[in-house]
Structure 1
């Protein structure tokens, strides 16, 4: 099996160099403030561990959508301790004559670091909590995704094979009465004769008698109606009095 060549990451190298320099500055400041022996080496370890722990807890709470004010505060405290040691050992402070307030700060750091580490360790967090949804990002999980039925040799989705299953025959239904679509013409109703005034009745009978005397045949109701100047709808009324 062929071994992969080792690649050197510039970011890791830079972080290692910066960590070593900061570690050395913290050790020198602690030793100058009266913390000799193994205690001087424990100070940089305490500062760097608090810095890393606060950063990791802050990132976890931010990904979970929770407030990260507490981890951010302890991250700034550890960063100020590391940065202060780097600046103090840059020639601006006489390490042979360290001021009293700096000795107090260095001596009180273990209690501060212990308190901050305890709070970070007991901060409630849920690593399984999904990140908060971004309202500006489109929601693509709710979109239905078609599942291809088959894939051809070229890698493209093939069309689904036509179904060969026969559809069941429809069940016979009860016979329905057949209706003739031809409309049935409405029966014509004979017009209802209307009553005529007595004078008009006498005039109708007089004309009918005159026609019978002249021709010997009964008078036609339509002809009588026409001679009287009545409308065609009055033919039935005239015929009723003949």
Structure 2
């Protein structure tokens, strides 16, 4: 038979629990709680501490707020630590102050109230209401017969229109008659007249004015204006 191996964590927890248990007993006895009542105080404090811790874990697992469980856990832990510190030589157990006697005497009612709240607090998430489907079951109908496609008559192609007779070719434009040959002396005289007109008016001479100044017909004046441009 294989013997269980000792667990250091469990041994440490047992030693710490025994020491805390003894300190709470000594403090309760010094505060006027004798016989079995002095032994009941450490049991009450440790049970409230464990109950608050378990309720806190259950509420956190269920996704609910655990503030009340945290408060009672802190109260039980403060009572346990307070007893350990008070019995470490900082408090004269032969002359316990009045306020400490009041706290020790009021602890049973406080622990009973906390334990009742922890026992009746909800730790399971409320189940969602079942959804009742009142819709009638679907009725499957037979598929309707597919109608045969109607025959579409294709219209006969329209007769091709007869080719239109070709139009006669457009006659080529008649070339403009070549400009008459101008004497160089006439062109030089016309340039002087145009320069004189520009000097007096500030604008180039037009064809009509040039023809009247030179005394030539409009066609010849236009040819001279082309030469002067």
Provide the secondary structure at the position in 1 that maps to 2:82: helix
Deviation by residue 1:214-241 (Cα, 9 ceiling, x = unmatched): xxxxxxx98xx76xx469xxxxxxxxxx
2:163 is matched with 191
2:123 is matched with 125
- Which of these residues, 35, 42, 45, is aligned with residue 37 of structure 1? 35
Deviation by residue 1:124-163 (Cα, 9 ceiling, x = unmatched): 221787xxxxxxxxxxxxxxxxxxxxxxxxxxxxxxxxxx
Provide the secondary structure at the position in 1 that maps to 2:87: helix
Runs of 4+ in 1 over 4 A off after TM superposition: none
> For residues 64 and 79 of structure 2, what CA distance do their matches in structure 1 show?
26
Q: Which has the higher contact order (CA 8 A, sep 6+)?
A: 2
Q: Which has the larger radius of gyration?
A: 2
Residue correspondence of structure 1 range 174-213 to structure 2 within 5 A:
188-191=160-163
1:10 is matched with 8
Segments of 5+ residues of structure 2 without an aligned counterpart are 128-147, 152-156, 172-229
Q: What is the TM-score when the length of structure 1 is the normalising length?
A: 0.55
Provide the secondary structure at the position in 2 that maps to 1:8: coil
Higher relative helix content: 2
- Which of these residues, 27, 47, 50, is aligned with residue 49 of structure 1? 47
2:88 is matched with 90
CA contact (8 A) 1:54 1:71 kept: yes
> For residues 125 and 71 of structure 2, what CA distance do their matches in structure 1 show?
21
Residue correspondence of structure 1 range 150-165 to structure 2 within 5 A:
none
> For residues 100 and 230 of structure 1, what CA distance do their matches in structure 2 show?
136
RMSD (CA atoms): 3.3
CA contact (8 A) 2:44 2:111 kept: yes
- Which of these residues, 73, 78, 98, is aligned with residue 75 of structure 1? 73
2:100 is matched with 102
Shift of 1:4: 3.5
CA contact (8 A) 1:60 1:127 kept: no
CA contact (8 A) 2:63 2:125 kept: no
> For residues 41 and 127 of structure 1, what CA distance do their matches in structure 2 show?
38
Provide the secondary structure at the position in 1 that maps to 2:51: helix
Shift of 1:100: 1.1
